[in-house]
């Protein structure tokens, strides 16, 4: 039995039965990392010694008879914009290349306390600004289903780590699709929780009113187990909400009879790759055949979502990234005077996409333009939220495609920012509305690439999303859990 091929739920069961040790589990994943990582580049920082030390500590606690959490001993990878005390946290940017936080993010503190060994920090688009993980200051991450293609972004490193068997679970962050989109392109389940459901304390901010931490995993059950760990109120996060946390794993495979399903017209567009639309509608038909009530629904403000998002998110980024000036921490280029130092530090420290979004945001917030751009975008956001509230009076969940196309080639869209932004067209309105949204595999393309279906639910109904995703998983027969990575020199691993 290859431990790195197991789901987190299976590993949890094996550990609790003492059929394997945590050290054995971690070593299996470390061996897999050594074999596969050179080809996909999913990590920025590796922590093998730390992971083995944590695993050994868990094993000693278990031998001593201590009652442990079900995920104790199950390793995890963490996106590199989530703070880790004493461990480099770069946001894939030269500005923070050598930054070591003095504290843990709340989610990291939690996984450490429970005894989940940390395998490393994963690659991402710089400051989470991108849809392909090509904007990392260090190197792009490659899709394991086809090494010439992108894994999606910005949580591409986390998605690839799970997809290749280098980690059974990973944490990502989602501002406008950065968990769901790479989950779709890498054949995973990826969940963006309700805004405020998971603490953002220690998440290095991109757009504070949109950012949210969430899980990437092989299965809905695995995501449910991790959601049980990271959900809940945190007094350190002013946006954290005190809604009670339910056990997401209670009914992950329950039937879908009488479920009211709305198919979002705008997210099964004729302009999308027809293979994706066909795969989504096949899954919709499966729900209908099993007793769900299915109907079309229109979210009229969807057409304005992309424009609103790319005003709101860059505006907040402009404000949040103002702190990287070379004075307090991070990269400092030096200079003859303070103005020259600021300019050189930010000019050399930030990559092209980050600079582009800072300029867009600064312009939108500038005197004379705030009302015309940022304020108008916020009004559109309110209307989008009302669209969802209206739709959820008729439907329990809303469904559509996660992405308009399968994974595209590396370099294909880097010279055309607008085309890159359009990659997020299916994901943005859920984020603007603050509702939970999940991507689950729904098919495979003629090129052998995974396709994803997106589910959205009313606030705090993550359990419903996981239940439906679990049902769909139990009825799929077309997609292996993990790909075989075809190597450039021939062969596969």
Residues 6+ apart with CB under 8 A from 95: 324, 330, 331, 345, 346, 349, 350
d(CA 275, CA 90): 37
Among the options 41, 42, 79, 93, which is catalytic?
79
Residue 486 designated active-site = no
Distance from the Cα of residue 469 to its chain's centroid: 16
Residues 6+ apart with CB under 8 A from 326: 332, 333, 341, 342, 345, 346, 349
Strands 397-401 and 260-264: parallel
Cβ-based neighbour number of residue 45 at 10 Å = 17
HEC string of 71-103? CCCCCEEEECCECECCECCCCCCHHHCCCCCCC
Residue 79 designated active-site = yes
By residue count, the chain amounts to: 493
Residue 242 designated active-site = no
d(CA 142, CA 139): 10
Among the options 131, 178, 217, 231, which is catalytic?
178
Cβ(201)–Cβ(207) below 8 Å: no
DSSP letters along 282-312, please? HHHHHHHHTT-EEEEE--TTHHHHHHHHHHH
Q: Where are the beta strands (DSSP E) in 386-427?
A: 397-401
Among the options 12, 22, 131, 154, which is catalytic?
154
Six-digit token string for 373 = 């751009």
Q: Is 486 helix (H, G, I), strand (E, B) or coil?
A: strand
d(CA 238, CA 208): 11
d(CA 293, CA 61): 49
The residue whose two tokens read 């939970």 is 436
Q: Enumerate the active-site residues.
A: 79, 154, 178
């Amino acid at each position: 039995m290859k431990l790195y091929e197991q789901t987190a739920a299976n590993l949890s069961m094996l550990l609790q039965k003492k059929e394997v040790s945590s050290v054995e589990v971690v070593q299996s994943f470390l061996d897999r990392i050594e074999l596969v990582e050179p080809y996909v580049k999913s990590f920025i920082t590796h922590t093998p010694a730390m992971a083995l030390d944590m695993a050994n500590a868990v094993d000693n606690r278990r031998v001593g008879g201590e009652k442990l959490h079900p995920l104790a001993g199950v390793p995890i990878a963490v996106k590199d914009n989530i703070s880790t005390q004493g461990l480099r946290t770069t946001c894939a940017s030269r500005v923070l290349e050598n930054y070591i936080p003095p504290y843990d993010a709340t989610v990291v503190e939690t996984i450490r306390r429970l005894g989940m060994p940390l395998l490393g920090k994963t690659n991402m688009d710089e400051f989470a600004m991108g849809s392909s993980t090509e904007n990392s200051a260090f190197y792009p991450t490659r899709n394991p289903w086809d090494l010439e293609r992108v894994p999606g972004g910005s949580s591409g490193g986390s998605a690839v780590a799970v997809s290749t068997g280098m980690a059974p679970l990973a944490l990502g962050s989602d501002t406008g699709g950065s968990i769901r989109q790479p989950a779709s392109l890498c054949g995973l389940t990826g969940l963006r929780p309700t805004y405020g459901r998971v603490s953002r304390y220690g998440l290095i901010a991109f757009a504070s009113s949109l950012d949210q931490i969430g899980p990437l995993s092989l299965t809905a059950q695995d995501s449910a187990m991790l959601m049980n760990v990271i959900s809940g109120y945190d007094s350190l996060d002013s946006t954290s909400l005190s809604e009670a946390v339910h056990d997401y794993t209670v009914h992950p495979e329950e039937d879908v009879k009488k479920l009211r399903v709305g198919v979002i017209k705008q997210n099964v567009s004729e302009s999308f790759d027809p293979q994706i639309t066909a795969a989504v509608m096949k899954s919709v038909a499966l729900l209908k055949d099993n007793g769900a009530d299915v109907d079309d629904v229109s979210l009229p403000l969807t057409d304005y979502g992309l424009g609103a998002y790319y005003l709101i998110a860059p505006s907040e980024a402009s404000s949040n990234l103002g702190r990287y000036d070379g004075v307090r921490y991070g990269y400092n280029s030096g200079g003859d005077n303070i103005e020259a130092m600021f300019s050189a530090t930010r000019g050399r420290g930030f990559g092209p996409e980050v600079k582009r979004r800072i300029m867009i945001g600064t312009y939108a917030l500038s005197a004379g333009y705030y009302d015309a751009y940022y304020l108008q975008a916020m009004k559109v956001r309110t209307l989008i939220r009302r669209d969802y509230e209206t739709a959820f009076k008729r439907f329990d969940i809303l469904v559509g495609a996660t992405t308009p196309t399968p994974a595209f080639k590396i370099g294909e869209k880097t010279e055309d920012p607008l085309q890159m932004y359009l990659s997020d067209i299916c994901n943005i309105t859920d984020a603007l509305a603050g509702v939970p949204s999940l991507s689950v595999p729904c098919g495979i393309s003629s090129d052998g690439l995974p396709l994803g279906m997106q589910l959205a639910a009313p606030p705090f109904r993550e359990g419903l999303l996981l239940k439906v995703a679990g049902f769909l998983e139990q009825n799929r027969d077309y997609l292996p859990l993990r790909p075989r990575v075809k190597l450039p020199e021939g062969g596969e691993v």
